[in-house]
Amino acid sequence: MKQQGIWPYLLLVAGLIGLQFSGSNYLTNLANFVAIQALPAIGLSLLMGYTGQISLGHAAFYGLGAYGSVLLATLLGVNMWLAMVLAAVLVGIAAWALGWLVFRLEGHYLAMATLGFGIIVHVILVEMHDWTGGPNGMTGIEPMNLFGHEFYSDKQVFPIVWGACILGIFFAESLVRSPVGLLMRGVSENGRVVASLGASPDRMKRLVLMVSGIYAAVAGALYARYVGYLSPGPFDVGFSIKLLLMVAIGGFAQIWGVLFGVAFVALVSELLKPLGGYDIIVFGVLLVVAVVYCRDGLLQTLFAGVRGTLRLARKSVS
Amino acid sequence: MSEFVQLLISGLMVGSIYGLIGIGFTTIYNVTGIVNFAQGDFAMVGALSAIMFYAAGSPLWVAIILAIILVGLLATLIERFAIRPIGTHVTRGIIATIGVGVVLQGAAVLIWGSDAQPMPAFSGDRPFNLWGTTILPQTLWIFGTAATLMVLLYLFFQKTYPGKIMRACAINPFAAQLMGIRLNAMRTFSFLLSGMFGAIGGIIVAPIALTQYDSGIGLGIKGFVACIIGGFGNPIGAAVGGLLLGVLEAMSSGFISSGFKNAISFVLLLLFLSVRSGGLLGDLEKVGR
């Protein structure tokens, strides 16, 4: 196996430090959302790219993590960090249980079952007024604080969310390079072969769904504390599809590619803001183009194109 | 008692729409092996374009026929440029059809705005009484259209030569090609048919429910659930599943709570997928491993 490269991390950290020196609050805010959304996207990439199982309900884990961490903190009166961990563990367990139910299915059926799960959770968030505040949501969520120090502004939250994101990337990379990662790829290629080697493909799938759910839950909890306000809107099926788009642009089974996908989608969203509601046309077209014509992700396809052109150019020169 | 009958009738009516959408799924699935996640959006585009043609001054029936043809052609274009390049890869097929659905919704906002739009009923909207319940004439139109189309499609697939060719493409595309069947033509035809079915479903329900850009999602999902309940790939199963789902939904929103109506159909979906994933009439082999 290839050794884990340290260069991407150094480049990323250098870029982030540079961004801090630019002093722009707008860019910091955008970068924070990239970090928060990168976590569920990487989780989805572990499940879809590496293990070959589709999920259209990842927004539900994200939402359960967000609402769960806040509710646990207020209801049990525990410390918010402990509540985050508890919420992540509970969502992990829920994902494991869901896996037990849905991984009897494959392909279209799996897609629709996970979509159903996502919609059920969204309906629950809207309908359980007493707990979630219904469509109005919950306001006045306390910002993160550690030893009496509050993390409120974009700049203060920045190191926390990016720290979590880099940890998430590191763990995901370690996972896919480990023997478990090989099994994951095996399940994606051919579950029967994995079973014949004495490993249970269904257990693998459940495990990856659990890890993936925890990624989304942690991101949701950070989101709740950062934004300070929760409503069911950001956790609907639309967000699951956006995650799908990020992973597709990133090339499915490429963790750094997925980070690029998240940043790309965030930038495109910002550029399309003047279009208002019409931006989803662009996202839809991007999704189709990414899946149909850029099978290894946008970046790889562009590189391949550039390389091809360079080769042609060199040939014509010589 | 009369409340029960009223709910039953409205359930059957909504259920026939679910059944029609479900049949659209079935038609594409039986030929290409792809589940078209944009199926509900065909219904939405059908209804909105019929409303547009009608507003432009054409008689209602002309507007409806134009809309059905338009959606059919649109579906063939989608097959050619978004679905065919993917081949048989299931996950990519799902994602591509989801992308198509998103584009259709965005285009609908662009063209028709995001307001819900009404459509005139086919033959007046003066309700009449039957056994103590109130029925809209449009209800009869829905029952009639759905039943006719379902029976015709069933006969087409089971009894006619082109229908058998289409089923052959689904069972073994390679062998079908060896027999001289032009697979791509059949795929295009299935999308044409399915787009038209979707449009009809959307149009006949439009007079009793307002249509807007995102009406398709709900219809599409319910249609899929109808297919799952009945057994995927079986048009009769889709019809039965649709009716069952419609009635259960109407009853639950009438006697329990309307807010949880959507969740109930998904609980049903998860239940069927996990307990009897072959559906009521389907065969289990196709679904499980």
Interface predicted TM-score of the whole assembly (ipTM), two decimals: 0.84
Whether the predicted pLDDT of A38 surpasses 60: yes
Is residue A127 less than 8 Å (CB to CB) from chain B?
A: yes
- A117 contacts on B by Cβ (under 8 Å): 266, 270
CB contact under 8 A, A292 and B262: no
Overall average pLDDT of the B2-12 stretch: 85
pLDDT at residue B278, rounded to an integer: 67
Helices (H) and strands (E) in chain B, counts: 11, 2
How far apart, in whole angstroms, are the C-alpha atoms of residue A66 and residue A216?
9
How far apart, in whole angstroms, are the C-alpha atoms of residue A225 and residue A295?
36
- A101 contacts on B by Cβ (under 8 Å): 270, 274
- B114 contacts on A by Cβ (under 8 Å): 277
Overall average pLDDT of the B166-184 stretch: 84
Shortest Cα distance, chain B CAs vs residue A101, angstroms? 6
CATH fold of B2-124+133-286 reads: ABC transporter involved in vitamin B12 uptake, BtuC (1.10.3470)
Residue-wise pLDDT for B78-100, tens only, equals 999 888 888 778 888 889 999 99
Q: Where are the domains of chain B?
A: 2-124+133-286
Place of tokens 């319940």: B133
Q: Is the dihedral of CA B121, B217, A132, A138 positive or negative?
A: negative
Instruction: Give contacts of A 246-285 with B, CB under 8 A.
Output: 248, 277-285
pLDDT at residue A3, rounded to an integer: 53
What is the enclosing helix (H) or strand (E) of A150? Answer: strand A149-151
Shortest Cα distance, chain B CAs vs residue A100, angstroms? 10
Shortest Cα distance, chain A CAs vs residue B170, angstroms? 15
Residue-wise pLDDT for B194-249, tens only, equals 999 999 999 998 888 888 888 888 888 888 888 888 887 777 888 888 999 999 88
From the candidates B44, B95, B289, which should be mutated to test the interface with A, based on the most A CB atoms within 10 A?
B95
How far apart, in whole angstroms, are the C-alpha atoms of residue A227 and residue B168?
55
Nearest to B106 among A104, A111, A278 (CB): A278
Is residue B180 less than 8 Å (CB to CB) from chain A?
A: no
How far apart, in whole angstroms, are the C-alpha atoms of residue B153 and residue B157?
6
The phi, psi pair for B117, rounded to 5°, reads -120, 140
Residue-wise pLDDT for B13-27, tens only, equals 889 999 999 988 888
pLDDT at residue A95, rounded to an integer: 96
Shortest Cα distance, chain B CAs vs residue A281, angstroms? 5
Residue-wise pLDDT for B29-50, tens only, equals 888 888 888 999 999 999 999 9
Nearest to A284 among B100, B217, B270 (CB): B100
* Pair B215, B44: CB distance under 8 Å: yes
Least confident of A98-102, A239-243, B73-77: A98-102
Which position has the higher pLDDT, A297 or B241? B241
Q: Where are the domains of chain A?
A: 7-235
Angle of helix B137-159 relative to helix B161-171, nearest 10 degrees, comes to 70
**Could you give the count of Cα atoms lying within 13 Å of A132 in the half-sphere of its Cβ?**
23
Q: Which pLDDT band holds residue B260 (cuts at 50, 70, 90)?
A: low
Residue-wise pLDDT for B165-174, tens only, equals 888 887 787 8
What is the enclosing helix (H) or strand (E) of A66? Answer: helix A58-76
Is residue B102 less than 8 Å (CB to CB) from chain A?
A: yes
Whether the predicted pLDDT of B262 surpasses 80: no
Residue-wise pLDDT for A267-296, tens only, equals 998 888 887 767 788 888 999 888 888 877
Q: Which pLDDT band holds residue A169 (cuts at 50, 70, 90)?
A: very high
From the candidates B36, B84, B98, B229, which should be mutated to test the interface with A, based on the most A CB atoms within 10 A?
B98
Sequence-distant (≥ 6) Cβ neighbours of residue A223 within 8 angstroms = A36, A62, A66, A234
Strand ranges, E, within chain B = 128-130, 133-135
pLDDT at residue B288, rounded to an integer: 38
pLDDT at residue B259, rounded to an integer: 66
Instruction: Give contacts of B 260-279 with A, CB under 8 A.
Output: 260, 262-263, 266-267, 269-270, 273-274, 277
Q: Which among A228, A63, A246 is positioned nearest to A154, based on CA atoms?
A: A228
Place of tokens 């009608």: B54
* Pair A53, A103: CB distance under 8 Å: yes
Overall average pLDDT of the A245-256 stretch: 91
How far apart, in whole angstroms, are the C-alpha atoms of residue A15 and residue A26?
16
3-state DSSP helix/strand/coil % of chain A, to nearest 5: 80, 5, 15
- B37 contacts on A by Cβ (under 8 Å): 111
* Pair A91, A65: CB distance under 8 Å: yes
pLDDT at residue B287, rounded to an integer: 40
Q: Which pLDDT band holds residue A165 (cuts at 50, 70, 90)?
A: very high
Sequence-distant (≥ 6) Cβ neighbours of residue A158 within 8 angstroms = A16, A20, A28, A31, A32
- A123 contacts on B by Cβ (under 8 Å): 259-260, 262-263, 266
Is residue A11 less than 8 Å (CB to CB) from chain B?
A: no
Sequence-distant (≥ 6) Cβ neighbours of residue B25 within 8 angstroms = B35, B36, B39, B194, B223, B224, B227, B232, B238
* Pair B34, B173: CB distance under 8 Å: no
Task: Please name the amino acid found at residue A222.
Answer: L
* Pair A88, A62: CB distance under 8 Å: no
Percentage above 70 pLDDT, chain A: 98
What CA dihedral angle connects B232, B233, B236 and B241, to 10 degrees? Answer: 20
The phi, psi pair for B128, rounded to 5°, reads -125, 160
How far apart, in whole angstroms, are the C-alpha atoms of residue A55 and residue B176?
33
Please give the distance of CA A59 from its chain centroid, rounded to a whole number.
Answer: 9
In chain A, the residue whose alpha carbon lies closest to the alpha carbon of B92 is A291
Nearest to B95 among A52, A123, A248 (CB): A248
Overall average pLDDT of the B116-127 stretch: 80
CB contact under 8 A, A113 and B262: no
Q: Which pLDDT band holds residue B10 (cuts at 50, 70, 90)?
A: confident
Helix (H, G, I), strand (E, B) or coil at A145: strand
The phi, psi pair for A143, rounded to 5°, reads -70, 165
Angle of helix B261-275 relative to helix A80-102, nearest 10 degrees, comes to 50
A271-to-A27, A267, A291 alpha-carbon distances in Å: 13, 6, 22
Task: Spell out a b/e string for A172-192, using b for 16 or more CB atoms within 10 Å of the CB, else e.
Answer: bbebbeeeebebbebbbeebe
How far apart, in whole angstroms, are the C-alpha atoms of residue B175 and residue B171?
9
